[in-house]
Amino acid sequence: MRIIINNLLSVRNAEFELNKINIIVGRQASGKSIIAKIAFFAKEIDYIFARSIYISTYEKFRKEIYNLFFSIFPKYTLENSNYYVKIVTNSYELDISKNNKFIIKFNDRYKNEYNKMRKYASEFLKNKVKISFDKTSMNFDGGTINYKDNIIQTSIVHFVSRQIFKHDVTGSNVYIPATRTLVSVLEKNFFSLFNKINFDPILQSFGMIYESTKIIYNNKIRDSKDKDISYINRIIKSVMCGSYERRNDKDYIVQNESSNELIHSSSGQQSAFPLLIGLIYPFVNMSLGHLLTTIEEPESHLFPEAQKDIVNLIAYICNVIKGSQYIVTTHSPYVLTSLNNLIYAGSIYKNYPQLENSISKIIPKSVAIIPESISSFCIHNGELISIMDHDTGLIDSQYIDSISEYSSIEFDALLEATENVN
């Protein structure tokens, strides 16, 4: 997937291919989240398309994409912006420009597969499902069919998704916002019960994923002896400084045989737990496969050692779920340095297989990152610039060092000021 962004809010010019792991660094309000949200929007279009077998006209399909875009970027924020966004995939091209123009073009294979799927779905309903009439209707080539059970709809969308995309795109892509602490302190079912109020759609989407995933983790997979689950449990325990339990619809952090409700735990724990639950969502739903997980500021409220654990968890799940993709926005030199260690380990595993046994004692192969699978960018003055060192395959060390440069300059100036004092 290739994305081009011009003059969208604070982003003047950004063009990039979405890699398996994508790192975006920059100052606050520089445009990191804008780029991440455009990528999230682009990945959601696949789900809208799979679901659109129920939409009778192209214009209605286009309207769904239109509504999604302006729920993420409200119109009033774009009034003075001469923006242009282009998304190019193997299946379609989408152009979005000032004056709310949306032009989407599908390639021939996509259109042919889609038309076949509409016919298959129609036959599926005619031959395998007894239809109950109700207010809800579906439009196919053969006419309108009414039904009341959305299980039918879900089954067909899964079927269409696998046929067209060769994998299931019906799961929600995960956007873990910097405001994630909020979801850990709100009452249970808040996001699912109030999903129609005027609320930040990304936070609402994440809140619903958080509510369901923590229950699945607690009830079905936490006590598994599977090696992947054991690794996830170790990371959760390390980052949370305790283990997670859910009892009587309440979340607890267990530390040294004492339990605290999450809503009464530290700010670090309240921020870290939703992050961890969001990260394991693709693992809990492995059948869905090709999901995009976006993490804003994984370092928030975390000690450097915990930041390293989070980076390792991202790499681990990324290696387990082959079709998964990640976007990470960050300010942290610890996150970047941890990533570089994993990239370098991946390079050694690839180029020097004879060293695997010795390297695995330092960084396990399960968390090593193949250099070609990661891209890293800095956004500065509205321009997106690659900060990968193409000679080493690492994130440019000069850029990492520059994050701490200002403090070093100040410290050196203080030393110099005291040199001649008696």
- Pair 128, 193 in one domain: no
Residue 123 in any domain: the answer is yes
What confidence tens digit (pLDDT) does each residue in 72-86 have? 999 889 888 889 999
What confidence tens digit (pLDDT) does each residue in 187-240 have? 555 555 555 556 678 888 888 889 889 998 998 888 888 898 899 999 999 999
CB atoms within 10 A of CB 406: 9
Domain boundary among 136, 171, 206: 171
- Pair 163, 194 in one domain: no
Residue 227 in any domain: the answer is yes
Residue 376 in any domain: the answer is no
| Number of domains the chain contains | 2
- Pair 118, 201 in one domain: no
Residue 359 in any domain: the answer is no
Residue 267 in any domain: the answer is yes
Specify the amino acid at residue 181: T
**Is pLDDT at 417 greater than 90 in this prediction?**
no
Q: Using an 8 Å Cβ cutoff, are 86 and 95 in contact?
A: yes
Q: Using an 8 Å Cβ cutoff, are 156 and 121 in contact?
A: yes
Residue 382 in any domain: the answer is no
Domain boundary among 257, 284, 311: 284
In the numeric block, the tokens 């990661």 are attached to 374
- Pair 233, 268 in one domain: yes
What confidence tens digit (pLDDT) does each residue in 313-363 have? 999 999 988 788 999 999 888 999 999 999 999 999 999 999 999 999 999
Question: What's the Cα-to-Cα distance from 93 to each of 11, 53, 132, 237, 408, rounded to whole Å?
Answer: 21, 19, 38, 44, 47
pLDDT at 43: 87
pLDDT at 130: 41
pLDDT at 308: 96
- Pair 166, 202 in one domain: no
- Residue 308: partners with Cβ closer than 8 Å, 6 or more residues away: 334, 338
- Pair 197, 152 in one domain: no
* Mean pLDDT score of the chain: 81
pLDDT at 133: 33
What confidence tens digit (pLDDT) does each residue in 137-192 have? 333 333 343 444 444 555 566 666 666 555 555 556 899 999 888 877 775 555 55
- Pair 140, 224 in one domain: no
Domain boundary among 269, 284, 299: 284
HEC secondary structure over 303-343: CHHHHHHHHHHHHHHHHHCCCCEEEEEECCHHHHHHHHHHH
- Pair 146, 194 in one domain: no
Q: CA nearest 369: which of 339, 394, 350, 343?
A: 343
- Pair 195, 167 in one domain: no
Residue 261 structural domain: 187-284
Residue 10 DSSP class: T
One DSSP character per residue, 36-99 reads HHHHHHHHHHHHHHHHGGG-SSHHHHHHHHHHHHHHHS-GGGGTT---EEEEE-SSEEEEEETT
One DSSP character per residue, 41-58 reads HHHHHHHHHHHGGG-SSH
Residue 199 in any domain: the answer is yes
- Pair 191, 266 in one domain: yes
In the numeric block, the tokens 């724990």 are attached to 269
Which residues are 64's β-sheet partners? none
Residue 320 in any domain: the answer is no
CA dihedral 160→163→167→170, nearest 10 degrees, is: 0
- Pair 202, 279 in one domain: yes
pLDDT at 150: 47
Query: Residue 33 half-sphere exposure, CB side, CA atoms within 13 Å?
Result: 13
